[in-house]
Amino acid sequence: MFGGSTDNPYFVEKYGYGSVISFACNLKTYVTISQDRIGFNQDKHKYILNYSRREEVSTIEEIRNEVIRVVLQHFSMPPVQVTLTSDAYSQGSGLASSSSYIISLIKACTIFLGIQMSQSEICKLAYELELKFNPYCGYQDPYGCGMGGFKRMEFMGKDRIKYEYLSTDFFDQYDTHLIFTGVTRNSRPILKDVTSNLDKVKPMLDILELAHQALRVKEYDLFLDFINQGWYQKKQTCDSIMENKSLGEMEQELCDDQSVLAYKLCGAGNGGFFLAFSGKDMLTTDLKAVKINVVPDGVTGESI
């Protein structure tokens, strides 16, 4: 919601501090790990991986899916079958799907191997593993997904992270929607561009502080206005955030719709989902919107 790109490790290194306000919602990623007794895993010693495609390989190093490869390598997993699914479009969606899958897969591996890890330990490991294939990964995605709830996170570098869980009363007063743009993208080139313009990111912190204060005193109209201000400032950080022409057309429709009180594009930009807010049951846009809610849980799992 606020402070995006200030969680960038290069920003935190340069300025010594970053902070975001974000929430985990009721759209989930699901990971299952199983191992057969007489079949591909035990007999043929194959790893079977199912996501948007299917892989059948003999070694972890051969796995093409970066998320699965780095996690299985870390745990030195034996041949298993891994399945990834989710409640929403995941690839290039701006919904932190890579981080969410890594967190879920780490949790699944710990259950499979009988290892105990706390939620914060899982988040820390997820961040370290994602950096192996995405050097521009920020702190927000793994820690935001893994810890759950509506919260402010502050980043001081060297894995020093402070959490402040916030009242969810705002979400009781307004409806929260995701609107798919129909555009998916690779976030890394955008994040690379933002990293080269960190001075343009710094004003995001000022807006975050004002928004946090408005939230504390329950001035929700002002809080919504700061969401719009934050989105305007986000667009100033990188030209490619709204590079796709169709995004501008959708944004204009949201801007013109009086039932939409505030909106922003999720994630790095240039595709994925718009996050929009309206009064309770008041949204009238013709765009296909899915209502979402805040959830307190982070990563969960069980053995069957």
Note the pLDDT tens digit of each residue in 6-36: 998 989 999 999 999 999 999 899 999 999 9
Cα–Cα distance measured from residue 269 to residue 92, given in angstroms and rounded to the nearest whole number: 10
Strand-pairing partners, residue 291, are 177
Name the band, by pLDDT with cuts 50, 70 and 90, for residue 96: confident
pLDDT of residue 304: 56
Domain extent, residue 123, equals: 29-130
11 falls within a domain: no
For residue 60, the model assigns a pLDDT of 98
Q: Is residue 191 part of a domain?
A: yes
- The per-residue pLDDT for 181 is 86
Write the Ramachandran bin of 25: left for phi over 0, alpha for psi from -120 to 50, otherwise beta: beta
User: Same domain, yes or no, for 283 and 171?
Assistant: yes
Contact 60, 72 (CB under 8 A): yes
Verify that 123 and 181 share a domain, yes or no.
Answer: no
Helix, strand, coil % over all residues of the chain, rounded to 5: 40, 20, 40
Q: Are 33 and 115 in the same domain?
A: yes
Q: Is residue 88's pLDDT more than 90?
A: no
CATH number, domain at 178? 3.30.70.890
Rounded CA gap, 201 and 145, in Å?
Answer: 22
Evaluate whether residue 84 is within a structural domain. yes
Asked whether residue 202 is domain-assigned, the answer is yes
pLDDT attached to residue 216: 96
172 with 288, same domain: the answer is: yes
125-140 pLDDT, tens digit each: 999 999 999 888 889 9
Residue 45 belongs to a domain with what CATH number?
3.30.230.10
Domain boundary among 76, 104, 130: 130
Both 189 and 284 in one domain: the answer is: yes
Give the C-alpha separation, 211 to 217, whole Å: 10
Record the pTM. Answer: 0.91
pLDDT at 150: 95
SS3 annotation, 123-149: HHHHHHHHCCCCCCCCCHHHHHHHHCC
pLDDT score recorded for residue 90: 67
Q: Where are the alpha helices (DSSP H) in 29-96?
A: 66-75
For residue range 232-283, what is the model confidence (pLDDT) as tens digits? 998 888 877 777 888 889 999 999 999 999 999 887 666 788 999 999 999 9
| Statement to judge: residues 125 and 171 lie in one domain | no
Rounded average pLDDT over 112-124: 95
Residue 85 host element (H or E): strand 81-86
Cβ of 218: how many Cβ atoms within 10 Å? Answer: 12
Residues 179, 120, single domain; the answer is: no
Please, what sign has the CA dihedral across residues 100, 106, 110, 111? positive
Residue 152 has pLDDT above 80, yes or no: yes
Note whether residue 80 is domain-resident: yes
The predicted structure's pLDDT at residue 294: 92
| 118, amino acid identity | S
140 belongs to a structural domain: no
What is the DSSP annotation of 165-212? E---HHHHHEEEEEEE-S----HHHHHHHHHTTGGGTTHHHHHHHHHH
104 and 196 within one domain = no
Give residue for tokens 């191997």: 113
Query: Is 188 found in the same domain as 113?
Result: no
> Dihedrals φ, ψ of 170, to 5°?
-55, -40
| Domain count within the chain | 2
Give yes or no: residues 122 and 190 share one domain.
no
Asked whether residue 288 is assigned to any structural domain, the reply reads yes
Would you say residue 63 lies in a domain? yes
Place of tokens 């780490």: 106
pLDDT of residue 194: 75
What pLDDT, in 10s, does the model give residues 176-233? Answer: 999 988 876 666 777 777 777 888 899 999 999 999 999 999 999 999 999 999 999 9
Q: Residue 69 above 90 pLDDT?
A: yes
Q: Which of 103, 130, 157 is the last residue of a domain?
A: 130
| Greater model confidence, 194 or 118 | 118
Instruction: Tell me: do 110 and 207 sit in the same domain.
Output: no
> Which two tokens mark 78?
């034996």
Question: Strand, helix or coil at 54?
Answer: strand
DSSP symbol at 9: H
Burial class (CB in 10 A: 0-12, 13-18, 19+), 88: middle
- Give yes or no: residues 98 and 53 share one domain: yes
